[in-house]
Chains A and B, each alone.
Chain A
Amino acid sequence: MSMHLESLPGPETITRRTLENGITVLVYENHNAQSVVLTGSVEAGSLFDPPDEMGLATFTASALMRGTEKHDFAEIYELLEGNGASLSISGGMHTTGFGGKSLGEDLPMLLDLLSDALRRPIFPERQVERLRGEIITGLKIREQDTRFIAGRAFRELAYPPGHPYRRNGDGQIEIMERIPRDHLGVFWRQHAGPRGMIVVIVGAVQAEDAIRQVAECFADWQNPQQPAAPPLPPVPPLEQVYERAVSMPGKSQSDIVLGVAGPSRFAEDWYAANLANSVMGVFGMFGRIGAEVREKRGLAYYSYSRLDGGLGPGAWRVIAGVNPANVYRAVEAMVGEIRRITTEPVSAEELADVKANFTGRLPLQLETNEGIAGTILMMERYGLGLDYLRRYPDIVNAVTAEDVLAAAQRYLNPDVYALAIAGPELPAGES
């Protein structure tokens, strides 16, 4: 079997239906597997956090499965785990996402539990307090994580005060300690609703059966007050280098994050930026940065770049973990690669390589139900159309070296970036 464009999930094989209340359901049948995968999102995320209760959205999302009008915590998880199934709900910046997996015949159970959790959560007091303690323990542990601390310091430098991306939905210990339980229910009832909800189902199911089951669980869900997402404030471009080093006792290695706010997934130059990023810090074991920092200079176990994209201006950043004595040698190499990608066009060979990678990896990306479901969710979220995978090679192949250079220049600048370092105290003279 080889993968032809016609065999990729497309308009003939993805069934897409919009319920009257605004929920979009997409189903792809795959009878080669015994499992069914359920994924999707509700348009209620950290963007709605009240200013004095940052983290409320993620706290609420984590609490949705702690008890509903129909089932208590123990019953929910006995149903899931007893059948070898899983279902989880977690808060994000723009949406609250869900994901589950079961044997094909258990899809009705998964959907029933999901609908209960999203529509009839009761936030039992004991459960909320238990969860609160678990979250606080997790937040304290995170304060010891150099990667997390470097990432947080980076966001604080790259995004202006008040911008939601600055804190990424993170809760803070002192806020988590004081959010009253009843605020969770109020928050969820106000913000969650069917409008904009996406449900993707992939696996051993009949499409029409699956859509009927979703409708049975969700068609009568209404929230006339469901608010539109607040607009994101603009992110003014940085004007200079902003640097912060966080000293953490007892650590052996420094984590470095260097970058800027990048394009959203909707940006016209998204593909050009994505190809630029691949040349710079992904392709062939982490691109030019991997070759320079890890392979040539032997400075780090990992060094790569990442372009977040997403619904808003996610970060475009270069990341490395190095010995504290090598921090500024690594930074120099990272900045050197930013200089190169923004001053000279990528070579014809490099461009051909990353294009081949982008188009050639589809068979692996679409091997499993999880892979297919994630791809279909992405297609729906960004309005790419059911024929997206068929058009995809042409979209990628149309990008020129000049487009790549222009995109890199638009977002990156070797003299202007945010730089965060977290780890042991840097040796004297390091700067």
Chain B
Amino acid sequence: MPDTSREVTRHVLDNGLIVLLKEVHTAPVISWWVLYRVGSRNERTGQTGVSHWVEHMLFKGTEQFPAGVLDKAVDREGGVWNAQTSYDYTAYFETMPAGRIDLALRAEADRMQNAVFDPDEVESERTVIISERQGSENSPTFWLFEETRGAAFRVHPYHHQIIGDMVDLQTMTRDDLYGHYRTHYVPNNAIAVAVGDFETAEMLARIEELYSGIPRGPEPPRLIRTEPPQQGERTVRVEREGNASYIFQAYRAPAATDPDWFKLAVADSILAGASAPGGNSIGNKTSRLYKALVETELAASVGGGLYPSIEPYLFNIMVTVRDGRTPEEVQAALDAEIERLYNGDVTQDELDKARKQAKALFAYGTESVTGQAFWLAFSENFSSYSWYENYLEHLEAVTLDDVRDAARRYLRRSQRTVGWFIPVNGQEGESA
């Protein structure tokens, strides 16, 4: 039988560091994550992209582990390490053979406070980050997402891309980056998680040994810029070189802690296909939007996404218009399908199917320690780790009326932003 008996234990060190531990003994590996409660939502104008750039700088060395040393040490031990920056967090992880995890524990304790931010390294990394953004710019949809999100959020920092605006990447200074690091990288602003093949008491003792000496810092300031209510539908057209049209449509969505979130998650599953924490996609060929757009040969593909966020974010729908079709035709069919759900047309069978799919996907997601550790840290950041642990129960509690109610309140035309990507090969994108 699967080893599901182990519970998560939660500990708070004296310096405020939250530690979540879960033993999983099915494979001799351990995943170690340290997540900081800072991401692009905390970034002011002029410093967009600072969280992501700081993440890069944490790979550029400390006195104890100079640049490149850990890259080699982790590979030598047969592990993997990486980091990710998102709207609400910046997170670092190592997944290692169980006997080698101490390296990861030491590395993260060290770079929580000792990253150097050498000025030459900052300048060298500037071109790397700009190159990362330019690589994304090669994709037509990057521009569409950037413009549509920017239109959906006028005030809230969710408006800019995590990578940041080019002008800020060109002008930010070493002091901007270092200030961000010193302000937000304190134990009382971090969540650490270990999942894998260890004994809890032993692991906790080692974590206390390495981390409890790191001084608590001042509480990091919070940037609160609540998005004002949307006053009607917003539309965006992006006209650039390309070979296909796309539609990216975003509705205002509730925060992850809002009870409405799970109701909308069921609606998303029915509309655009199943999803659950950690589970790989199983495709969406039986979803409503696939049937309405792809089977009718209006679109080449469609997908949806509801992202658990600290503050209200977006429920997105992305459509690739089929060659020979127009965005107008696709938009009309998309609107008709959304309207159907908005008007309450949803069945118990669809609800049951969404739950069953989530159950399978959730089970798949627990088969890797890396995925589990991420979700514990991620959910502790926007709510509590129990949000993840109880995901299926939350979903089970959603009724048919809840789905109808959520569709009625969130899938309103006045509360959406619609972005179109229009390819304009070799012609001017403008007309008089």
Chain A residues within 8 Å of B, Cβ to Cβ:
1-3, 31-35, 73-74, 77-78, 80-86, 88, 101-103, 129-130, 133-134, 136-138, 140-141, 143-146, 204, 248-253, 255, 283-285, 291, 294-302, 321-323, 326, 353, 356-357, 359-364, 366-369, 423
A225 to B264, CA, bound (A): 54
Contacts of B140 in A (CB 8 A): 144
User: Is B72 an interface position by the 8 A CB rule?
Assistant: yes
Is the C-beta of B426 less than 8 angstroms from some C-beta in chain A?
yes
B163 to chain A, nearest CB (A): 10
A contacts with B: majority SS: mixed
Q: Identify the closest chain A residue to B364 (Cβ).
A: A35
Among residues of A, the one whose C-beta sits closest to the C-beta of B349 is: A82
Q: Given A134-B301, A144-B241: A82 and B2 within 8 A (CB)?
A: no
Indicate whether B332 reaches chain A with its CB closer than 8 angstroms: no
Q: Is the CB of A82 within 8 A of B128?
A: no
Task: Decide yes or no: A3 and B28 within 8 Å by CB, A140-B243, A252-B134 being known contacts.
Answer: yes
Q: In the bound complex, do residue A298 and residue B3 qualify as a contact, i.e. CB atoms below 8 Å apart?
A: no
Complex-state Cα separation, A285 to B126, whole angstroms: 18
Q: How far is the CA of A74 from the CA of B287 in the complex (A)?
A: 11
Beta-carbon contact of A81 and B324 below 8 Å? no
Q: Are B274 and A360 in contact (CB under 8 A)?
A: no
CB of B412 within 8 Å of the partner chain? no
B359 to A: closest C-beta gap in Å = 7
- Residues of B contacting A136 with CB < 8 Å? 323
Q: How far in angstroms is the closest Cβ of chain B from A5?
A: 13
Q: Are B282 and A86 in contact (CB under 8 A)?
A: yes
- Chain A proximity of B294: nearest CB distance (Å): 7
Instruction: State whether A360 and B135 are in contact (beta carbons under 8 Å apart), knowing that A134-B301, A323-B130 are contacts in the complex.
Output: no
Are B353 and A82 touching (Cβ within 8 A)?
yes
A-side contacts of B137, CB under 8 Å: 251-253
Distance in angstroms from A7 CB to nearest chain B CB is 8
- Which B residues lie within 8 Å of A360 (CB)? 76-79, 97, 100
B residues in contact with A33, CB < 8 Å: 2, 26, 367
Contact present for B300 and A138 (CB under 8 Å): yes
Tell me the nearest residue of chain B to A146, going by C-beta: B138
Shortest distance from the beta carbon of A422 to any chain B beta carbon, whole Å = 9
**What's the Cα separation between A83 and B129 when bound, in Å?**
42
- Contact between A368 and B282 (Cβ–Cβ < 8 Å)? no
Cβ contact of B243, chosen from A85, A88, A143, A284, cutoff 8 A? A143
Q: List 15 A-B contacts (CB under 8 A).
A: A34-B363, A77-B285, A84-B282, A84-B356, A103-B363, A136-B323, A141-B243, A143-B243, A145-B139, A251-B137, A252-B137, A296-B124, A298-B128, A360-B78, A364-B29
Taken together as a complex, chains A and B put the C-alpha atoms of A138 and B321 apart, in Å, by 10
Bound complex: CA A80 to CA B274 (Å): 12
Q: Take A298-B125, A353-B75 as given contacts and tell me if A84 and B360 are in contact as well, using a CB distance cutoff of 8 Å.
A: yes
Docked Cα-Cα span, A326 to B364, in Å, equals 43
Q: With a CB–CB cut-off of 8 A, which chain A residues contact B95?
A: 364
> Any chain A CB within 8 A of the CB of B331?
no
A145 to B125, CA, bound (A): 25
Known: A83-B356, A144-B243. A364 touches B78 (CB 8 A): yes
8 Å CB contact of B323 from A86, A88, A140: A140
- Which residues of chain A are within 8 angstroms of B320 by Cβ–Cβ distance? 137, 141
Q: Could you say which residues of chain A place their CB within 8 Å of the CB of B197? A: 1
B72, B280, B320, B357 — most chain A CB neighbours (10 Å): B72
Per the bound structure, the CA–CA distance linking A13 and B322 in Å amounts to 48
Kindly report which residue of chain A lies nearest to residue B75, judged by CB atoms.
Answer: A357
Question: In the complex, A206 Cα to B194 Cα: how many Å?
Answer: 32
> Across the interface, which residues of A come within 8 angstroms of B71, CB to CB?
284-285
Answer yes or no: B397 CB below 8 A from chain A CBs: no
Instruction: Give B349 Cβ to nearest chain A Cβ, in Å.
Output: 10
Per CB-CB distance, the 6 closest pairs between chain A and chain B, nearest first, are: A84-B360, A360-B78, A250-B241, A298-B124, A32-B26, A252-B134
Partner of B78, one of A130, A291, A357, A368: A357
Q: A2 with B80: in contact, given A32-B3, A141-B320, A249-B241 (CB under 8 Å)?
A: no
CA distance A130 to B295 in the complex (A): 7
